Amino acid sequence: MKILIFIILFLFVGAFFIISNENIKMNSSENLDLFFREYCSWFDKLIGNGKNLSGFLIKMEWLPEVG
């Protein structure tokens, strides 16, 4: 349950950073479209980086060499 709350909070914080960094006023449909495009782009990059990190971790040699 704590992990789910952490994920939801992380996604909300990401949304708030996008709104503040892009100075998006959420009062018109054009700005909502801009927000959703930016958020989807950010989320896509987040998933891509997660896949890259997972692939890197899987390929790492975790066990010591036996002499």
Q: Dihedral, CA atoms, 23, 26, 27, 29, nearest 10 degrees?
A: 100
Cα angle for residues 55, 57, 58 (degrees, 5° grid): 65
For 40-52, the pLDDT digits (tens) are 999 999 999 999 9
pLDDT of residue 39: 96
Cβ atoms of 49 and 14 closer than 8 Å: no
Query: Mean pLDDT over all residues of the chain?
Result: 93
Q: Model pTM? A: 0.78
Q: How far apart are CA 29 and CA 35, in angstroms?
A: 10
pLDDT of residue 52: 96
Distances (CA, A) of 24 to 2, 18, 31, 36, 67: 30, 8, 6, 11, 60
Confidence of residue 57 (pLDDT cuts 50, 70, 90): very high
